[in-house]
Each structure stands twice: as structure tokens, then as C-alpha cells.
Amino acid sequence: MTTSEEKHDTSQSVVCEALTRSRRWLFGLAIALLSMFLGLLLCEVGVRLFVTVRNVGPSFSVYDPESLKTLKRSFTCRRITPEFTMRFSTNSLGVRGPEPKAFPDSAILFLGDSFTMGYGVNDGEEYPALIRAALDKLIGVGRVPVVNAGIGDVGLGRWVKFLQDEAERFTPRVIVIQVSANDIADDLREGLYSVGSAGNLVASARLPDRNWKRSMQSIIEAVPGLPYSHLVSFSREVRFDGRSKLRQSPHPHAKARSSDSFGVLTNLILTRMLELCRSSEWPVLGILADDDKHLLSQVRGVFDGAGVSYVMAPRKDERPELYYHVDGHWTSEGHERVAELVLPLILQVADLSE
């Protein structure tokens, strides 16, 4: 055998060994990935069978540098919980409701948290949508635009910014402000405003940047179907929201209550909201969506002092059928009752002649 032939055979042998090692590595990787997939699949099945997951489905909101969060635009999803499955969608304005044929000028504006957004009920069952349907029958279809700007898990601070920067473009006929006890803790947590040394309302100089939770949300939602994984949702509740969320207290503002400043920040924010509405000559109505007596006494005082009419949603201990037992939000029957209470006030206050 010549030297050149020996070199050729040697190079062939090296190539064959390299290919063999590559095949073995790829085979091992495939086995590892398959094992991981089967393991995750078994975990997914196990969670679905044996674990109660509070929320399954993609997030409704995205990070916003001006107000920390805003609802996704032109978005549709399902939210699955132990007590209900809801269909949730937004229009191109980034609010819950049907796509408007034109920009909703001279609108009735609803501001509030998850109670106003309608967490727990399907599209069209939230109380602003029921009021829209009632006005369509009374006044004419589409003659009185209704905008449900409610966003879940927010305090009142964002609405000061909304009233300053965005509300004017809707030329509101009336603004309906919904308040709940959660606003106290949410206002403190969000940090959009604080109480100054003179007891005045102070806007934060700089808002927090997008955090790692939002980054993880983007990664999860980039994979089709992954947001509806019970395993992923359970992991999110445990790692992102804390185990306390799994056993959520009906009053998550309890820690704030231990402070002497309980409710002061929220009262200042609400007072500022009413001042902004008054300066723009926008009529205002209020909804109290909580049975916390301490909160009610303070908020009622703010509304009464400003001459604002308001309604009190039935308490859960009085009308338990209007609330989900564990989740605590209104059922469709609850939204119907709130719409029945609010509509007469709107008819009294709002100019519906145009």
C-alpha cells in the first residue's frame, strides 16, 4: 500500500469516527429532549389532576412606561379558573368592548379596576357593556358611545394620568369612577404617587422600568399554547406572585391598614381625580365595589364633599349569589345588578340629547 493510500484511509477513518460521534451526540440529545418533554407532559397532567391553579391563560396587559401597564390592543383569549372560564377581548383602542365604527366621541367613560374590566364574565356581560346595551335600546344604537377603560390589578393613580393626558379626546358626557378596597394597597405598591411632607399629592419623578416578570411573560407568550399550560400557570403563581396568591385574602390591603396613613394616599388621588373632572366640567358618578367599612366611610366622605352621586354595590354577605365564592369578583348576575343601580344615575346626570 502506498503512502498516499495510507493517508487516504486514515482520513476516511477519522471522518467516520467523527460522524459516529456526531450521530451518538445527536441521538443522546434527542433522547434527552424527548425525556424532558415526556417529563414535562407528565407534570402537566399531574398538575391538571391534583393541583388547583387559580389563573390559566395569557396576561391581559403589557408594560407601559407612563402608567406601568395597559391592556393589549385587539386581543382575544380565554381565562380558565376553578370557578369559571371567561372569554376576554379588547378592541384597537386597548379597552374591553366591541370595535367602534368611529372614535367614541362624547362617550361615557368607565374607570376602575378588575370589577369594571369585568374579570370573571364573558365579553358583553360586564356592567359597562350592559349599560351600553340598555342605552342602545333607550336612545338608539351607537348614539351614546360607552368606553370601558377598566384594567385589573391597578390602583387609582393611573386614572389621574389618564384624566390629565387622555380623557379629553373622548369629550366625556360623564365619567364613572369605581373604587374598591384593593386600591389602597395598589396605590402604595405602584408608587405612581406618594404623600408629600405637607400632606399633598406628589407624582413620582421616575417610574420603574419593565421588570423580569414582564420579560418572562413575553417569552412564555411567544410559544403557541404555552400560556394555557397549567404547569406554567402554577409555576407563575408560586414563583412570580407568591404562595399567598394561591390562598388570596379577601383584603390584600391588610398590611397597609396597620399603618397610620391607611387610605390617605388613595383619598388624595381620588380627590385629585374629582378636581380634574370638575375643572374640565365633566360630570362624575361613583361606584363603591367593596364592603370594607373603613374604606367606605373615607371614600363616601370624598364623594360627598365633592357633591358626587354614587352607588354602593351589594355586599357579598348580603347577596352572596352576586359574587364568586372564592375569587370574589362579581358574577354575571352581579354585573346585572350593578348596571341596574348605575343606569338611572347616568340618565339623571349625563346629557344624552346628542
pLDDT in tens, 87-101: 999 999 999 999 999
pLDDT at 175 over 90: yes
With 90 as the cut, is the pLDDT of residue 60 above it?
A: yes
Whether residues 5 and 97 share a domain: the answer is: no
Mean pLDDT computed over 219-228? 89
Residue 8, all three cell numbers: 487516504
pLDDT at 256: 41
- Are both 159 and 45 inside the same structural domain? no
Angle (CA) 86 49 59, round 5°: 35
For the residues 57-72, what does the mean pLDDT come to? 92
Mean pLDDT, to the nearest integer, of 177-185?
92
Same domain, 34 and 166: no
Do residues 33 and 181 share a domain? no
Cα separation values, 351 from 61, 108, 194, Å: 33, 10, 35
Confidence (pTM): 0.85
The alpha carbon dihedral of 117, 335, 172, 309 has a sign of negative
- What's the pLDDT band for 251 if we cut at 50, 70, 90? very low
Give helix 264-279 / helix 293-305 axis angle, nearest 10°: 30
- Tell me which of 28, 50, 72 is where a domain ends: 50
* CB-based contacts of 96, cutoff 8 Å, min separation 6: 71, 88, 89, 90, 117, 118, 123, 126, 128, 129, 148, 150
What mean pLDDT comes out for the span 205-213?
82
**Do 292 and 330 lie in a common domain?**
yes
> What pLDDT is stored for residue 346 in this prediction?
96
pLDDT of residue 254: 41
The rounded mean pLDDT for the chain is 86
Q: Is the pLDDT of residue 301 over 70?
A: yes
Q: Please state, in angstroms and as integers, the Cα–Cα distance from residue 297 to each residue in 158, 285, 288, 338, following that order.
A: 23, 17, 11, 20
Whether residue 4 lies inside any domain: the answer is: yes
User: Could you tell me the end-to-end alpha-carbon distance of the chain, in angstroms, rounded to an integer?
Assistant: 102
Q: What is the DSSP letter of 96?
A: B
What are 258-299's pLDDT values in tens digits?
343 568 999 999 999 999 999 999 999 999 997 666 667 788
Residue 252: band (very low, low, confident or very high) from pLDDT cuts 50, 70, 90: very low
The answer as to whether 199 is a domain residue is yes
Q: To the nearest 5 percent, what fractions of the chain are helix, strand and coil?
A: 50, 15, 35
- Averaged pLDDT for residues 340-349: 96
pLDDT at 67 over 70: yes
For residue 343, give every residue at least 6 positions away whose Cβ sits within 8 Å of its Cβ, in sequence order, or none: 131, 134, 135
Nearest to 112 by CA among 302, 312, 293, 288: 288
Same domain, 29 and 89: no
Q: Are residues 213 and 281 in the same domain?
A: yes
Task: With respect to residue 81, please indicate whether it lies within any of the assigned structural domains.
Answer: yes
Q: From CA 48, how far away is CA 238, in angstroms rounded?
A: 16
In a domain? residue 56: no
Domain holding 95: CATH number? 3.40.50.1110
pLDDT of residue 75: 97
Tell me, yes or no, whether 354 lies in a domain: no
Q: How many domains does the chain have?
A: 2
167 with 289, same domain: the answer is yes
Measured CA to CA, the distance from residue 91 to residue 71 in angstroms comes to 10
In this structure, the answer to whether residues 281 and 344 fall within a common structural domain is yes
Whether the Cβ atoms of residue 121 and residue 159 lie closer than 8 Å to each other:
no
Distance (Å) of CA 315 to CA 74, 111, 338: 34, 20, 11
Per-residue pLDDT of 104-149, as tens digits, reads: 999 999 999 999 999 999 999 999 999 999 999 999 998 999 999 9
**55 domain-assigned:** no
Stronger pLDDT, 153 or 351, i.e. the higher one: 153
Q: What is the spatial distance between Cα 134 and Cα 348, in angstroms, rounded to a whole number?
A: 15
Task: Look at residue 174 and tell me whether its pLDDT is greater than 70.
Answer: yes
144: helix, coil or strand?
Answer: coil
Distance of CA 130 to the CA centre of its chain: 20
The answer, yes or no, to whether residue 14 has pLDDT greater than 70, is no
User: In this structure, are 176 and 307 located in the same domain?
Assistant: yes
87 assigned to some structural domain? yes
As a dihedral over the C-alpha atoms of residue 255, residue 208, residue 67, residue 249, rounded to 10 degrees, the angle is -20
Q: What is the DSSP string of 235-256?
A: HHIIIII-GGGGG--S-TTHHH
Q: Which amino acid is at 36?
A: M
* β-strand pairing of 174-179 with 85-89: unpaired
Q: Which residues pair with 61 in a beta bridge?
A: 71
pLDDT of residue 51: 82
Q: What confidence score (pLDDT) does residue 351 get?
A: 80
Residue 187 has pLDDT above 90, yes or no: yes
Residue 136 lies in domain = 61-349
Let me know whether 291 and 153 are in one domain: yes
**78 and 215, same domain (yes or no):** yes
